[in-house]
């Protein structure tokens, strides 16, 4: 059974439909890249996947005992975080917040998991540093480690490379690919970067206030939508 | 030292210091989260509402014939016990209203606070203007008075302060998560709205407790200064919280001693000490950064 199944789902704000006609599946071990222009409904779909918004019609079903709160989420950074006084360790550990119900303090196991995930992403030496002193790429690794603390199955990444320089971007993509390949995580990534999407992802989902394409990355490159988007620019594709 | 002992000889001083230390501590803990969430103005907004509430309750209680109040024993007992209970309820209500307003996004957070705080001031002043001859000292309400604390106020403050501190410690990791990254906290199933409401509620309680001693115009600074000073000095959230608590307590005590020694208003003295500490810690941060670069 698929981990996540979207059945003719539509989402609306204040009764106004933002995105509709969503029909896709994410299976264990997939790497799905969701692309589309600004305002195409990517963020709305993401809220739906995280269980923060209910579909207006249709349904999003979770299989294999997956719950929406067990999705490891890498949100876009807010301006308030840039100068937030918190150590790397504190940030990563906060990913364990809801792993074992409500308790006043973190357990030894929580700390162990946080340390393992920092190791996995090569940020263990930075653990006592302040988050605000890190470079953009290091900050994303920290937030990725935090997301890993919250999940065993699915990572949901919201524009993970925005604001990073090309070299760091490539490194981060490789890290994500390695987590997908070696740790067997299912990855769902929202991105502007269609070319990297096609390069790393197994599946593509293209949105334009409705679902324009869903299928394998190889098929996407052959599709009209894919060809247009990969070429970039020109008049609005319809 | 002699000065401090002399100061502690007065009952009203002991009360004021006791309440002040606890309120400063609460305000500093909550302040760290408020400042980092860019929500620092809520203290100002709520204290101005508190001003209106205190004026109105003062006036209303004075206008009602005593015999009528005595007809409602619970009300009479509440007013007799502590005159800050009614204002506290009003301010807690205002805190929730602020939260809702800023969520509705029709009026943005900072405008919502400005709206509520100026309305609070205006209503308070209008009520005062309508009822000249009421024995309410506007200066005391605005800038605080050391004689404001009754024994009942002290007990109320102790109980509520302990509640604030206990909730903060128990929900420390949730407060960190909500302060640091609301969207991640929400996505992993934290009831963000609940904790935000809790922070507003606790802030409202703290503001009203400290308001009569520190003054409606100055109480908000207790949430700001310790947090800002601590953020200049520390890199870890836990250390920021602890440092802010220490700064708040030390500054309050020093401010009270200065106020006693030179016969200055207590609220302003405490804020003055806080300002000096903030400037010093900014200086330290500047030197450190300069040394590294």
Q: In the predicted model, what is the mean pLDDT of chain B?
A: 84
Determine the distance in angstroms separating the CA of A227 from the nearest CA of chain B, rounded to an integer: 34
Nearest to A131 by CA among B175, B236, B286: B236
**pLDDT given at position B270:** 94
Mutate to test the interface with A, among B33, B166, B184, B242 (most CBs of A within 10 A): B184
Q: In the predicted model, what is the mean pLDDT of chain A?
A: 86
**pLDDT given at position B277:** 96
Query: Closest chain A residue to B188 measured between Cα atoms?
Result: A69
- Give the Å distances, CA to CA, from A235 to A205, A238, B292: 21, 9, 51
pLDDT-derived band at B65 (thresholds 50, 70, 90) equals: low
The DSSP bridge pattern shows strands A4-13 and A16-26 to be antiparallel
**pLDDT given at position B258:** 93
For the range B274-281, what are the long-range contacts, defined as Cβ-Cβ under 8 Å and sequence gap of 24 or more? B274/B221, B274/B222, B274/B225, B274/B226, B274/B229, B274/B247, B275/B225, B277/B225, B277/B229, B277/B247, B277/B250, B277/B251, B278/B225, B278/B228, B278/B229, B278/B232, B281/B229, B281/B230, B281/B232, B281/B233
DSSP H helical segments within chain B, as ranges? 2-8, 11-36, 42-63, 66-70, 73-81, 85-104, 109-130, 138-143, 151-170, 172-180, 182-187, 192-214, 221-233, 237-262, 266-292
Residue A113: pLDDT above 70?
yes
pLDDT-derived band at B78 (thresholds 50, 70, 90) equals: low
Contacts of B190 in chain A (CB under 8 A): 97-98
The pTM of the full predicted model, rounded to 2 decimals, is 0.85
Residue B185: pLDDT above 80?
yes
Mean pLDDT (whole number) for B242-271: 93
The verdict on a CB contact (< 8 Å) between B188 and A73 is: yes
pLDDT-derived band at B26 (thresholds 50, 70, 90) equals: very high
**pLDDT given at position A151:** 87
Determine the distance in angstroms separating the CA of B161 from the nearest CA of chain A, rounded to an integer: 19
Q: Is the CB of residue A105 less than 8 Å away from at least one CB of chain B?
A: yes
CA distance A20 to A10: 4
Mean pLDDT (whole number) for A134-148: 91
Residue A154: pLDDT above 60?
yes
Is the distance from CB of A91 to CB of A75 less than 8 angstroms?
Answer: no
Determine the distance in angstroms separating the CA of B176 from the nearest CA of chain A, rounded to an integer: 8
Q: Is the CB of residue A146 less than 8 Å away from at least one CB of chain B?
A: yes
**pLDDT given at position B80:** 61
Contacts of A51 in chain B (CB under 8 A): 187
Minimum-distance CB partner of B189 among A98, A132, A133: A98
DSSP H helical segments within chain A, as ranges? 42-49, 79-82, 88-93, 108-120, 136-149, 166-182, 194-200, 217-222, 224-231
The verdict on a CB contact (< 8 Å) between A104 and B174 is: no
pLDDT-derived band at B276 (thresholds 50, 70, 90) equals: very high
Could you give the dihedral angle defined by the CA atoms of residues B233, B237, B242 and B244, in that order, rounded to the nearest 10 degrees?
60
The verdict on a CB contact (< 8 Å) between A98 and B237 is: no
Contacts of A94 in chain B (CB under 8 A): 173, 176-177, 180-181, 184-185
Could you give the dihedral angle defined by the CA atoms of residues B56, B60, B61 and B64, in that order, rounded to the nearest 10 degrees?
180
**pLDDT given at position B13:** 86
Residue B140: pLDDT above 70?
yes
CA pseudo-torsion sign B31, B36, B40, B42:
negative
Residue owning tokens 């405008």: B111
Query: Closest chain A residue to B34 measured between Cα atoms?
Result: A80
Residue-wise pLDDT tens digits, A6-52: 889 899 888 888 888 899 989 888 999 999 888 888 888 998 988 88
Q: Is the CB of residue A107 less than 8 Å away from at least one CB of chain B?
A: no
Mean pLDDT (whole number) for B10-14: 86
Provide the token pair at A145: 């480690």
The verdict on a CB contact (< 8 Å) between B236 and A69 is: no
Residue-wise pLDDT tens digits, B202-222: 999 999 888 888 888 888 899
Mean pLDDT (whole number) for A104-119: 88
Query: Closest chain A residue to B237 measured between Cα atoms?
Result: A86
pLDDT-derived band at B136 (thresholds 50, 70, 90) equals: low
Residue A238: pLDDT above 80?
no
The verdict on a CB contact (< 8 Å) between B187 and A87 is: no
- Neighbouring-strand partners of residue A61: A5
Contacts of B174 in chain A (CB under 8 A): 97
Mean pLDDT (whole number) for B148-170: 86
Residue owning tokens 């409202």: B204
Minimum-distance CB partner of B180 among A81, A105, A106: A81
Nearest to A173 by CA among A201, A204, A143: A201
Which region among A154-168, B23-37, B57-71 has the lowest average model confidence (pLDDT)?
A: B57-71
The verdict on a CB contact (< 8 Å) between A98 and B190 is: yes
Query: Does B139 or B114 have the greater pLDDT score?
Result: B114
On the 0-12 / 13-18 / 19+ scale of CB atoms within 10 A, A111 is: middle
The verdict on a CB contact (< 8 Å) between A133 and B235 is: yes
Mean pLDDT (whole number) for B36-48: 86
DSSP state of A129: S
Residue-wise pLDDT tens digits, B228-255: 999 999 989 999 999 999 999 999 999 9
Residue B293: pLDDT above 70?
no
The verdict on a CB contact (< 8 Å) between A84 and B236 is: no
Mean pLDDT (whole number) for A146-175: 89
Minimum-distance CB partner of B181 among A81, A87, A132: A81
Residue-wise pLDDT tens digits, A115-132: 999 988 889 899 889 998
Is the distance from CB of A3 to CB of A24 less than 8 angstroms?
Answer: no
DSSP state of A19: E
The verdict on a CB contact (< 8 Å) between A95 and B234 is: no
Residue A136: pLDDT above 90?
no
The verdict on a CB contact (< 8 Å) between B177 and A106 is: no
Would you say how long chain B is, in residues? 293
Spacing of C-alpha B244 from chain mean position: 15
């Amino acid at each position: 059974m698929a981990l996540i199944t979207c059945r003719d789902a539509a989402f609306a704000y204040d009764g106004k439909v933002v995105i509709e006609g969503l029909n896709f599946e994410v299976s264990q071990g997939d790497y799905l890249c969701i692309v589309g222009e600004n305002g195409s409904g990517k963020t709305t779909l993401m809220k739906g996947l995280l269980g923060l918004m209910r579909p207006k019609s249709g349904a999003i079903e979770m299989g294999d005992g997956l719950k929406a709160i067990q999705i490891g989420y890498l949100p876009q950074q807010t301006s308030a975080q840039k100068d937030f006084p918190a150590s790397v360790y504190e940030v990563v550990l906060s990913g364990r917040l809801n792993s074992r119900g409500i308790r006043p303090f973190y357990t030894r196991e929580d700390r162990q998991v946080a340390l393992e995930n920092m190791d996995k992403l090569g940020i263990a030496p930075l653990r006592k540093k302040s988050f605000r002193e890190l470079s953009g790429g290091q900050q994303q690794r920290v937030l990725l480690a935090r997301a890993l603390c919250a999940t065993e199955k699915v990572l949901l990444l919201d524009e993970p490379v925005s604001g990073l320089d090309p070299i760091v971007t490539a490194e981060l993509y490789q890290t994500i690919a390695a987590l997908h390949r070696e740790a067997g995580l299912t990855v769902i990534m929202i991105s502007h970067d269609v070319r990297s999407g096609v390069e790393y992802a197994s599946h593509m989902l293209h949105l334009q206030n409705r679902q324009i394409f869903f299928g394998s990355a190889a098929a996407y490159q052959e599709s009209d939508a894919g060809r247009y988007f990969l070429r970039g620019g020109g008049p609005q594709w319809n | 030292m002699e000065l401090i002992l002399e100061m502690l000889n007065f009952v009203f001083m002991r009360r004021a210091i006791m309440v002040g230390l606890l309120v400063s501590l609460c305000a500093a803990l909550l302040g760290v989260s408020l400042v980092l969430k860019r929500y620092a103005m809520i203290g100002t907004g709520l204290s101005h509402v508190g001003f209106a509430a205190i004026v109105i309750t003062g006036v209303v209680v004075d206008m009602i014939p005593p015999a009528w109040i005595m007809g409602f024993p619970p009300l009479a007992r509440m007013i007799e016990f502590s005159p800050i209970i009614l204002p506290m309820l009003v301010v807690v209500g205002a805190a929730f209203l602020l939260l809702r307003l800023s969520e509705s996004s029709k009026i943005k957070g900072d405008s919502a606070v400005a709206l509520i705080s100026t309305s609070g001031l205006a209503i308070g002043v209008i009520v005062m203007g309508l009822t000249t001859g009421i024995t309410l000292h506007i200066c005391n309400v605005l800038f605080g008075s050391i004689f404001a604390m009754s024994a009942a106020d002290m007990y109320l403050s102790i109980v509520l302060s302990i509640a604030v501190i206990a909730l903060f410690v128990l929900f420390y990791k949730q407060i960190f998560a909500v302060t640091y990254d609301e969207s991640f906290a929400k996505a992993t199933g934290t009831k963000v709205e609940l904790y935000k409401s809790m922070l507003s509620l606790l802030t409202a309680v703290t503001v009203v407790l400290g308001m009569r001693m520190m003054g409606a115009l100055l109480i908000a600074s207790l949430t700001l200064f310790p947090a800002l000073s601590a953020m200049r000095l520390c890199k870890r959230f836990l250390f920021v919280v602890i440092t802010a608590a220490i700064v708040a307590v030390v500054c309050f005590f020093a401010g009270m001693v200065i106020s006693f020694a030179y016969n200055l208003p207590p609220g302003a003295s405490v804020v003055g000490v806080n300002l000096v500490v903030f400037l010093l810690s900014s200086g330290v941060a500047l030197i450190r950064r300069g040394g590294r670069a």
